[in-house]
Structures are given as C-alpha cells and as structure tokens.
Amino acid sequence: MVAVVIDMSSTPGPGLTNLVSAVIPVHNRAAMLREAVASVLAQTYPRVEIIIVDDGSTDDTALAADDLSRRHPDRVSVIHQSNTGTGLAREAGRRRARGEFIQYLDSDDLLLPRKFELQVAGLNAHPECRVAYGKTQYRHSDGRLEKMPWKGSGNKVDKMFPSFLRDRWWDTPTPLYRAEICEQAGPWTDLKLEEDWEYDCRIAALGGRLHFCDEFVAEVRDHEQNRLCRGAALDPVRLKERAKAHALILTHAQRAGIKEAEPEMQHFARELFLLARQCGAAGLAAESKELFVLAKLASGDTRAEKLDFKLYELLADITGWTFLGKVVCLSDNLRR
C-alpha cells in the first residue's frame, strides 16, 4: 500500500471560471524554471495563474522563484517546502490552485503559446470531455527536434483506459485537466517514480472522454541535468517505487471494469510478470512474490493456469524468489 502524506483539511473548492492554474514543481533548476514560466506567461490565453513549488532546492532556484513572483505578482506565486518529491510537490500546488482547469508542468519542459487557448476552447465546447490533450514535440539535448509527435500524443483517442495500461502515451505537459476531475481523483501520492502514470490511471478510472487538439501544444526536452527517469534497471530503490505504482495501476484498471481478456490487460499482466522477475533479481523477494500474484490475477484464471506461471511459482518456492529472479534476468539478457 502506498502511503499518501496529505492533509485533506484545506481541499480546494470549485475553480474560478475559465482560469487555468499552472503548477510547476522544481528542484535545483533555476534556469529551466525561468524558461518554463516564460512559456506559460507567453500563452495567448489570458486567464492564467502560475504556482511554483520549490521542492527543497539547495541552489539558487528558490531565489529565482521568488524573483519571478516579484516580477509578476498578479500571476506568479511560490510555495517553499522541504524536499518531498515531484508528486507531493504537485499536490501542494494543486491545493493552492484556484482555476477551473489544472496544468501540471515539469520545470524542464515548455508549453507552446496556443496550448491554453486551444484546450480551454475544446473543453468548453465539449462539456462531456474531462481532459484535453494535443501533440507534443520532443527536443534532444543537442537541440534537434523530432518531426513526429512524441509517444502517442498525435493519435486521437476517446478515453484514457484501456490504452494507458500499455503505456502513458503522453507526457506531463501534454494534458489540461478540469480541476473537478483532479479533485475526484484525490491527492498525488508520495511515489518517486511513475507517480504521473499512476495519477493518470486514477483519473482514467473515473471515466469521461478526452478532447484532442490536432496541433502541437507542448515540448518535452532532454538534457544532461538530473532526471528521475534515469537510473539502473535493477536499482532496488527504483524497483520498489515501480512495484508500488504498478500495484496501484492494476487497482485502478480493475475499478474501471477492464476485463482480464482485454489485450491491454494481458499486456499489463506481462509487465507485472517482468517486473516481478526484476524485483527478484534486485533482492526484493517480497515485492517479487506480490507482483507475481498480481500478474496471475491480471491474466485471468485460464492464463494463470498455464505452464510458465506454474513452473515459475514452483521454482520460486524451491530456490527462492531472489535467486530465481537473478537466473531468469540473466537468461533474458543472454538471449538479447
């Protein structure tokens, strides 16, 4: 179970009509923060507030955030807090937000100028839609820009589930949410990895349609500074976080009524099985066993009775979940 460290006593009320609240968590990225804020201030849509959450920065980022607030006192506010991680920093900003719409923006990414104009108009024209998204462009660390939309952001999709069981096919700056659905989804968790995927799957479980804007609306940038998405595949700290996130995502999919027979659920079951093996190889026996049980559950009764599941469970009981995970992961690497 993932602990959620949130005080619910000051939950935000209904948002101000047509106001967009942009929430920007930041840790030790002063220069990039200025660029991210500038991309919000440059929006063609006028009704915007920006909430910077300085998540325990130890360099000059806190000063940069305060300077931005002084320069734009009517649009930019700052929260300073001890380092809690991106998810809880976003939650601190969400709780301060006053808007009808919520935009989460990582400090190393940018919004393109017409994003809010297009997406607010789309959501206002389609009240049945709860989230709007558009195409996202990807910029390499050397400045090269990919020509095609990043991930699956160029595809028109009506709903987040079941496709989000295959992967999170957009990035954090891509969607614009109605504040009401963020409120219904509940607070961000204290997950340090895949917290955004888990959050979106929680929103997906609530239903509601997506509005697609067939234009580029955001830019995701690669760079050489510290990024949470980087790290060793078998790092036990990272795998513990991923194990928690995957367990929660399965819960959200089940709540949404996604059946075991659906291809997306079968895909996610295989992901759970793979992660179970990786956790075993990293010495996380308890997580490995739990994920294996979840993989069987997601696979359905018929698939769970297949030989590979039965053989793996038998060998794990004999050799231990850690030993078997190491052997299987080594074998997987040798076959590549």
Q: Are 12 and 40 in contact (CB under 8 A)?
A: no
CB atoms within 10 A of CB 17: 10
Are 51 and 137 in a shared domain?
yes
Are 263 and 133 in a shared domain?
no
CA–CA separation, 140 and 145 (whole Å)? 6
Q: What is the pLDDT of residues 164-207, one digit of tens each?
A: 999 999 999 999 999 999 999 999 999 999 999 999 999 999 99
Q: What is the pLDDT of residues 300-318, one digit of tens each?
A: 988 888 888 999 999 999 9
Is the pLDDT at 18 greater than 60? The verdict is yes
Nearest to 179 by CA among 132, 245, 216, 249: 132
CATH value at residue 128: 3.90.550.10
Rounded to whole angstroms, what are the CA distances from 265 to 50, 104, 167, 246, 268? 37, 27, 11, 12, 5
Last residue of a domain, one of 163, 189, 221: 221
pLDDT score, position 227: 54
pLDDT score, position 39: 98
Secondary structure class of 136 (helix, strand, coil)? strand
pLDDT score, position 3: 39
Are 92 and 188 in a shared domain?
yes
Is the pLDDT at 230 greater than 70? The verdict is no
pLDDT score, position 6: 35
To 5 degrees, how large is the angle CA 145–CA 151–CA 152? 125
Are 169 and 298 in a shared domain?
no
Q: What is the pLDDT of residues 116-132, one digit of tens each?
A: 999 999 999 999 999 99
Are 250 and 153 in a shared domain?
no
Rounded to whole angstroms, what are the CA distances from 135 to 156, 170, 271? 10, 9, 26
Model confidence at 231, pLDDT cuts 50, 70, 90, reads low
pLDDT score, position 14: 57
* Structural domains counted in the chain: 2
Are 188 and 88 in a shared domain?
yes
Look at 110 and 16; give whichever has higher pLDDT.
Answer: 110
Q: Is 5 part of any domain?
A: no
Q: What is the pLDDT of residues 25-58, one digit of tens each?
A: 999 999 999 999 999 999 999 999 999 999 999 9
Q: Is 7 part of any domain?
A: no
Are 160 and 22 in a shared domain?
yes
Are 39 and 166 in a shared domain?
yes
**Mean pLDDT across the chain:** 92
> What percent of the chain has pLDDT above 90?
86
Q: Is 197 part of any domain?
A: yes
Are 216 and 245 in a shared domain?
no
CA–CA separation, 259 and 291 (whole Å)? 18
- What sign does the dihedral 131-134-138-143 (CA atoms) show? negative
pLDDT score, position 58: 97
CA–CA separation, 160 and 169 (whole Å)? 9
Is the pLDDT at 242 greater than 60? The verdict is yes
Look at 333 and 75; give whichever has higher pLDDT.
Answer: 75
State mean pLDDT over 255-273.
96
Question: pTM higher than 0.85 for the full model?
Answer: yes
State mean pLDDT over 247-272.
97
Model confidence at 233, pLDDT cuts 50, 70, 90, reads confident
Secondary structure class of 321 (helix, strand, coil)? helix
Residue pointed to by tokens 């602990």? 3
Is the pLDDT at 77 greater than 90? The verdict is yes
**Sequence-ordered list of residues with C-beta below 8 angstroms from that of 152, at least 6 positions apart, any chain:** 163, 167, 169, 170
**Sequence-ordered list of residues with C-beta below 8 angstroms from that of 276, at least 6 positions apart, any chain:** 287, 288, 289, 290, 291, 292, 295, 325
Structural domain boundaries enclosing 253: 236-335
Is the pLDDT at 2 greater than 70? The verdict is no
CA–CA separation, 71 and 224 (whole Å)? 29
Q: Is 32 part of any domain?
A: yes
To 5 degrees, how large is the angle CA 199–CA 219–CA 248? 15
Nearest to 240 by CA among 190, 172, 204: 190
Q: Which pair of structure tokens corresponds to residue 48?
A: 């915007």
pLDDT score, position 335: 59
State mean pLDDT over 198-225.
94
pLDDT score, position 111: 98
State mean pLDDT over 250-277.
96
